[in-house]
């Protein structure tokens, strides 16, 4: 490990989950985001370190080797990595700081795999001009390439958490590439022994993408739903029109209050619901407000993460 990646990793303070953010990473984020506007104040993409400066991070920075590459959708590439450090860990829904040697920016990508798959770890990266994402979609991102990763985030499904252990209904709402952490959570919840979560009767996943071909992991999600009656899928597309229209007989339009109310009504009134929302900022903010204000879910039971 050398160059820019080594320098950035050295300046990211190591600390345990839940600890107060150290000055090191916050200062680094501030310096690296000089001139970067937050969402809604000029449209410039916020830096990953800026957005996550107050988030908990695991202690370990691990090397990882790329062992497989798969084009999951026309614009999303899945990377399968083998993590070197056996102490590396994460919770379903977490992300990694993604260090690429020679890249001037740090990527931030949610795991779409589960902790039980370690040392293998899967990331799905949307194509963009942002340097880390551009690298992930370049010829340099090939089998045998090495990167470094540090797991973090408070957005997670924690099997030991009170809300998770008491929930009767797990409601997941994803927009676009926001499916990644929720896909990880859904898999983790379905893999957990039923004896450990006997009260969990329903897992609802409402997932929208621009076109049918952009519904990442659609086939596996449908397979999971066929294999476990607790999982209910609602897949929809939002911009499948024009000359490039694709065959689709499913739902269309964005997720809104009617769709959320219908998902909640699948369980009896008074059921304990914990909800996770992940997608573009405007969508995430709007749906969190609906769940809390219009549909009456307690604030602490509605968790969200925004991805730009």
pLDDT tens for 7-59 read 555 555 444 333 333 333 433 333 333 322 223 333 466 789 888 999 999 99
- Per-residue confidence band for 243, with pLDDT thresholds at 50, 70 and 90: confident
| Residue 40 vs residues 52, 210, 272: alpha-carbon distances, Å | 17, 22, 34
Nearest to 304 by CA among 291, 295, 293, 106: 291
Least confident range from 16-30, 89-103, 186-200: namely 16-30
What pLDDT is stored for residue 271 in this prediction?
A: 79
How many C-beta neighbours within 10 Å does residue 106 have? 27
114-155 pLDDT, tens digit each: 999 999 999 999 999 999 999 999 999 999 999 999 999 999
* Contact indicator for 196, 159 with CB cutoff of 8 Å: yes
CB neighbour list of residue 208: distance below 8 Å, 6 or more residues apart: 174, 175, 176, 235, 236, 237, 238, 254, 255
Mean pLDDT for the stretch of residues 239-267: 92
How many C-beta neighbours within 10 Å does residue 112 have? 24
Q: Residue 93 region, left (φ>0) first, then alpha (ψ -120 to 50), else beta? A: left
pTM assigned to the model: 0.87
3-class SS at 211?
A: coil
């Amino acid at each position: 490990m050398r160059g820019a990646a080594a320098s950035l990793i050295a300046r990211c303070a190591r600390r345990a989950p839940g600890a107060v953010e150290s000055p090191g990473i916050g200062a680094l984020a501030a310096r690296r985001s000089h001139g970067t506007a937050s969402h809604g104040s000029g449209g410039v993409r916020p830096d990953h370190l800026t957005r996550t400066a107050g988030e908990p991070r695991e202690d370990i920075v691990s090397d990882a080797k790329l062992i497989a590459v798969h084009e999951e959708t026309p614009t999303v590439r899945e990377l399968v990595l083998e993590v070197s450090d056996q102490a590396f860990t994460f919770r379903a829904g977490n992300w990694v700081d993604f260090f690429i040697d020679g890249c001037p920016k740090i990527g931030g990508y949610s795991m779409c795999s589960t902790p039980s798959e370690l040392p293998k770890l899967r990331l799905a990266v949307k194509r963009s001009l942002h340097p880390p994402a551009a690298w992930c979609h370049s010829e340099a991102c090939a089998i045998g390439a090495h990167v470094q990763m540090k797991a973090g985030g408070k957005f997670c499904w924690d099997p030991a958490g009170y809300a998770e252990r008491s929930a009767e209904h797990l409601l997941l709402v994803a927009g676009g590439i926001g499916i990644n952490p929720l896909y990880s959570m859904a898999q983790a919840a379905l893999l957990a022994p039923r004896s450990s979560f006997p009260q969990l009767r329903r897992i609802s996943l409402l997932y929208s993408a621009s076109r049918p071909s952009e519904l990442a992991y659609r086939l596996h999600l449908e397979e999971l739903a066929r294999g476990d009656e607790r999982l209910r899928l609602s897949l929809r597309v939002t911009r499948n029109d024009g000359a490039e229209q694709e065959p689709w007989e499913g739902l269309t339009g964005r997720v809104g209050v009617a769709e959320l109310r219908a998902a909640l009504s699948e369980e009896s009134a008074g059921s304990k619901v914990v909800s996770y929302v992940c997608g573009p900022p405007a969508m995430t903010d709007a749906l969190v407000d609906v769940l809390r204000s219009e549909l009456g879910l307690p604030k602490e039971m509605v968790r969200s993460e925004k991805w730009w």
